[in-house]
Chains A and B, each alone.
Chain A
Amino acid sequence: MEKLNILVLDDDRLAQKIMTMQLAEHNTDTAGDLKTVLKKIETGRYDIGFFDLMLGPEDDHSGLKAIAAAAEKGIYCVVVSSSDSEEIIDRAYELGARDFYAKGNEESNVADILRKFAAGRKAAAAADIFTSAFITQDPETRAMVTEALKYAPTDLPIMILGPSGTGKTSLANILHDHSGRPGAFVSINCSAYTEDLLEAELFGYRKGAFTGAADSRKGRLLEAHKGTLFLDEIGTMSPNMQMKLLKAIEERIFHPLGSDKPERSDFRIISATLEDPQKLIAQGKMRFDLFQRVHGYTINLKPLSRRPGDIAPLMLHFTRSGRRLSFTREAKAFMESYAWPGNVRELKKFTDLLSSGSDGRVGLEEAKKHLRGEAAAAGGQEPRAGDDGLYRYALEHGLEAALAKVSDEMIARNLNENGGVRTKTMTDLKISTRLLYSTLKKLGLDTKGDKK
């Protein structure tokens, strides 16, 4: 954590000494009476102020005046008191106090307040993130990431959902950078390993644990000690592996392969999956108890086709140290309506191709040349829960009617794609005979046809 300038107001010299020791890593200034503290507030520059309210047995909460003065100067004011009425605490908040803690247990109280202060500062700096580390102008995405940054300094597990190439790993890395955890950011893509290899990668192994284990190796869990373990595509992990991981998460203790000696690791989990975890649970692909352990806060990253306003700033970011590109109006319109199935990753590749090959001014044909073969404009047209049209429909007709509309459209589309073979549609969409036939009836389609 950066070194902060902190002001402590307390008439008790022992309390001053305790706070100075607790805040030893920072520049701490103390005051024991109102006159001194007001002068310090006026002339000094402080990030945080810890204020006792009653300055002596005969005092009538004169610490409140210090809070008002400090809050006016933008100092993060914390009330420190052994016992005060709710009325006094409310008054302190009205005057600008941001936090309160009861005297005693200073070690955890002070650490907790410093952590909250740092988180608030980081969240305020989030706007910078959106123009440098995680480029987006989409208000919904910005709000979600800003909210997630508030949880970055906590131990709360975070789950990032979203299609491939939307920046899940980048976001996990940013969350780690804002966590204040001194350990490393350790990332592993669970889909890249077989069950045995994944176990060896995560837990490590001793020499001779299996054929080919010529040397002992530290696992990712241990590498992430006091840091962050990012489990990408967690939904692809086998149930057996999920059980082992769950045990390690719960106990923070595990055994490397071939070892009797337990290892301990204090890691924070951030996970990501392409698929809806609820669906994975329903399909028996994800253990519910593991899901509960890894999904404290959930971020859902939208595909690029649903935030076309991010295309231009992202391209600007990708070309910031190289050749700038400009696009004709037609090329821009094409790019904004393109499906971008590979999302930001595909856009990066596209930008690299244009930067190295084109003449700087990109027309429609040039853009199409590099994006051909992809279903242009298809992904953006499919019904999605976030679609304005569907949302307006839900507002007008109710959520149940909107969900029924989605269900009808899915079934009709699948039937059409299957040439009307109903059993295939029931299998594809995992729906009951009853739902299929009630939909056919509702849509006025033949329910007595011979296509099974």
Chain B
Amino acid sequence: MTEENSKLLHDLRSKCSSLKSAAELYKDCSPAEKKEMLALMNSAAAEITKILAQLSQS
């Protein structure tokens, strides 16, 4: 595995862990927090998609 791929995988694991933890916390959030969390989760999901695209090209 190249160093580039290794860093991408590290980033992927990190983002996926955050997304999973956020999903677990989501149900206990206030409506305002839910809105903020969803925005952050969407952003994380978009970054995950980006990383996956980079991985498939490498």
Contacts and interface: CB of A to CB of B under 8 A. Distances in A.
Interface of A: 12-15, 17-18, 21-22, 52, 54, 57-58, 81-84, 103-107
Interface string B30-41: 000100110011
- Dominant secondary structure of chain B at its interface with chain A: helix
Contact of A82 (B10, B29, B41): B10
Nearest to A104: B17
Contacts of A83: 9-10, 13
15 contacts: A12-B14, A12-B15, A13-B40, A15-B18, A15-B21, A17-B22, A54-B11, A57-B8, A58-B7, A81-B14, A103-B14, A103-B18, A104-B17, A104-B21, A105-B21
Q: How large is the interface on B (under 10, 10 to 19, 20 to 34, 35 or more residues)?
A: 20 to 34
Counting from the closest, the 10 A-B pairs by CB-CB distance are: A82-B14, A103-B17, A104-B17, A82-B13, A14-B40, A14-B18, A15-B18, A14-B44, A18-B21, A57-B11
Contacts, number: 60
Interface of B: 7-11, 13-15, 17-22, 24-25, 29, 33, 36-37, 40-41, 43-44
Contacts of B10: 54, 82-84
A10 to B, nearest CB: 9
Given A12-B14, A18-B25, A104 B36 contact: no
Contacts of B44: 12, 14
A374 B33 CA distance: 71
B7 to A, nearest CB: 6
B44 to A, nearest CB: 5
Nearest to B13: A82
Nearest to B28: A21
A205 to B, nearest CB: 39
B55 to A, nearest CB: 12
In this complex, which of B9, B11, B17 has the most chain A Cβ atoms within 10 angstroms of its Cβ?
Answer: B17
A106 B22 CA distance: 10
A8 B10 CA distance: 19
A346 B44 CA distance: 68
A81 to B, nearest CB: 8
Nearest to A21: B25
A18 B8 contact: no
Contact of B22 (A14, A57, A84, A107): A14
Nearest to B51: A57
Contacts of B9: 83
B13 A106 contact: no
In this complex, which of A22, A52, A106 has the most chain B Cβ atoms within 10 angstroms of its Cβ?
Answer: A106
A419 to B, nearest CB: 76
A233 B22 CA distance: 49
A13 B18 CA distance: 9
A18 B7 contact: no
Contacts of A104: 17, 20-21
B41 A14 contact: yes
B17 A82 contact: yes
B37 A107 contact: no
Contacts of A12: 14-15, 18, 44
A57 B10 CA distance: 8
Contact of A18 (B11, B13, B18, B43): B18
A18 B25 CA distance: 8
B43 to A, nearest CB: 7
Given A12-B44, A13-B40, A13-B43, A106 B11 contact: no
Nearest to A106: B21
